[in-house]
Each structure stands twice: as structure tokens, then as C-alpha cells.
Amino acid sequence: MKLYFPENYKSHLDLKQTERAIKQIKDFFQRDLSSELKLSRVTAPLFVMQGTGINDDLNGIERPVTFPVKELDDKRAEVVHSLAKWKRMTLADQEFAPGYGLYTDMNAIRPDEELSNIHSLYVDQWDWERVIADEERNLDFLKKIVRKIYSVLLRTEFYVYEHYPQITPILPEEITFIHAEELEAKYPDMSSKERENEITKDHGAVFIIGIGGEMPSGQIHDGRAPDYDDWTTETVNGYRGLNGDILIWNPVLQSSVEISSMGIRVDKETLLHQLKLTNTEERKELLWHNRLLNDEFPLCIGGGIGQSRLCMYFLRKAHIGEIQSSIWPDEMHKQCREHNIHLI
């Protein structure tokens, strides 16, 4: 188990206060995000049919939870990993106009997750997606949307401070942008996680651009599926990628924490290119991919924002299990109790 125990840890809020604060944060954040990005709330599925290409493949190795459906002749459904591709299909089916989009509560089960202070079997996030125009498929527009999301984080942090003045704001006023290749060149002898820690500790809040593509070293910063984010389109100074992660420095854990993974999505040409790069060209025959290749989907930008991680950060909690109810090993329960961390 990968656990970090802050020295002399004591939660700022008791259990009842925490439950109340979680609702306050979630209500405020989603209203503000909806207003900032012009997003309408929609209802989302917990599971989709296997073999349609609609589910998120993450890094391609994580096993989805599957089950047979009696009324469909035991065809198998699978619990979503995220709604990265489902959202784009919904934008098309509900005919959203450019400049507008959707958001929803995404609940997932990831049985292969390596449990830690910030990783759980249960994943909850706001999944959002917005239609864009062709001229908006560029790095400047990506940065514009990142700044909008970051402004919501800043307002939420102040909202928490108003209600719980013992939790003082610490986010910087501006978020810093850096490309994954620049980060590798800056810290060539470090791992990706070590680089993230170093840059985020220095700046407080960082957006790392271009995640998923191969860097000069031959490595990738982190894995990305080939069929939603565009991580190969050239942007500026030879760097590639129109996606990235929002990271913030967590002083309780003394570590960077990814709050959001997001990006401009693949168009038809980029999809074909990235499927070829990852030797997954057989996906072209799947329902979702076939619809994209037949120009049935709009150009869009989207991402996910972790709900429990966000609450954990704003409430200065040491373990995600203080925010959400999940399953943890007995040894983790024992160690957390010994360090004054009370899992729900």
C-alpha cells in the first residue's frame, strides 16, 4: 500500500461537518462550472454495452467490471471507466450548438486501481464536454478553457474559507503552463511523478500540456487512450498535443495531485493517426469510432474533474476515504486509525 501519513495530522472538521462541507463544495463548484463554461446538466449511464467502443479504455490495461444482461441474451455490459467518449456522442445526439456543452456526475468502479491516499476503487468526477468551432482547435483555446476552470477552483476555495475560516486559501492567482517535453528537459533525471512534484511545488498550480505522446527520450509522460484526447497535433515550437492535466500542490500530502485530465478531442484524421500509432486500428469497426469517422460527431473539448479529490483538497484531508465511502484493506484501516485518519 502506498500511504503517506502527515505528522500530527488532525482534521479541521469532524465527520458531521465534513459531510455538510462535501455537499456545499459539490453544489457550489458544479453551479459555477456550469455557468463559466455554459454547460447543461445531463443524466449519464453507469454502464454501457461491451464491444461498442463507448467506454473509456484509460491506459488499455485496466479491466472493466462486466456482467451479463439476462434480457439481452446474456450479452455483456461493462461499468464505465469514465464518460470520455459517451459525452461526445451525447453532444451529437442532443444537437448542442458550438460554445455550449454538458456536464454530468460520473461514477465508476476501477478494480485494478492501486489504493493510496488519493486512489480508490470508486471514482466520482464531473465529466464535461463542450462543442467547439474548427478555429478553436488550438493551444490558445485550450489554455483559455483551463483558465476558466481554474477560476472556478479559486472561487470555490474562497467559498470554503467563508464557511470554514480555519481553512485558509493557498492557491496561486494564476495557473502555470508547461509542456511535458519542457518538463522532461528541465528535470531529465526524474520520473514523471517526481517532475510533477517539483514543478507543482514551485508554482502551486500547473497545467502540463501534451500527455500521451512520445517525448524525445522515447518515454511518455503518462498514458492516454488514442481515441478521445488529441495528443499528436503540433502546437508551438514543435511541441505536440492539445490535452493535459491540471495539478495542484497538496500541502497535507506534500505532493502534487491531479485534479483534472482534459483536452481538445480527436478529429477524424487525428483518430486514424493515433489508432495507427498505438496499433489499435481494429477499433475503427466499433460503433462509436464508426460514427466519428462518418462525421456524425461535433468537434469538442472536454475532461473530468475529480469530486472526492477536490473536496479532499479544499478540506485539507489526508485520505480520500475521509471524503467517500469505499472498500479498503484491513491493514489500511488499522494504519489510518493509528495516524488519526478516520475512513468513512
State yes or no: is 192 an active-site residue.
no
Q: Please classify residue 198 by burial: count the beta carbons closer than 10 Å to its beta carbon, then call 0-12 exposed, 13-18 middle and 19+ buried.
A: middle
The three grid cell numbers given for residue 239, joined into one nine-digit string: 511541441
Single out the catalytic residue among 11, 125, 260, 326.
Answer: 125
State yes or no: is 261 an active-site residue.
yes
State yes or no: is 256 an active-site residue.
no
State yes or no: is 202 an active-site residue.
no
Single out the catalytic residue among 110, 137, 265, 309.
Answer: 110
Contact between residue 245 and residue 208 where contact means Cβ atoms under 8 Å apart: yes
State yes or no: is 56 an active-site residue.
yes
State yes or no: is 254 an active-site residue.
no
Single out the catalytic residue among 245, 265, 267, 308.
Answer: 245
Q: Which residue has the cell 479529490?
A: 309
How far is the CA of 322 from the CAs of 151, 161, 195, 325, 337, in angstroms?
26, 19, 28, 8, 11
Single out the catalytic residue among 82, 261, 307, 324.
Answer: 261
Single out the catalytic residue among 30, 56, 82, 192.
Answer: 56
Q: CB 329: neighbour CB atoms within 10 A?
A: 10
Contact between residue 142 and residue 131 where contact means Cβ atoms under 8 Å apart: no
Nearest to 21 by CA among 167, 171, 121: 167
Host H or E run for residue 334: helix 330-338
Q: Please classify residue 277 by burial: count the beta carbons closer than 10 Å to its beta carbon, then call 0-12 exposed, 13-18 middle and 19+ buried.
A: middle
Q: Considering Cα of 339, then 341, then 342, then 344, what sign does the dihedral take?
A: negative
Give me the helices (H) in 14-138, please.
Answer: 15-37, 84-93
How far is the CA of 205 from the CAs of 155, 176, 184, in angstroms?
15, 6, 18
Helix 307-314 vs helix 139-163: crossing angle, to nearest 10: 50
Single out the catalytic residue among 32, 182, 184, 258.
Answer: 258
Nearest to 157 by CA among 87, 92, 251: 251
User: What residues act catalytically?
Assistant: 56, 110, 125, 245, 258, 261
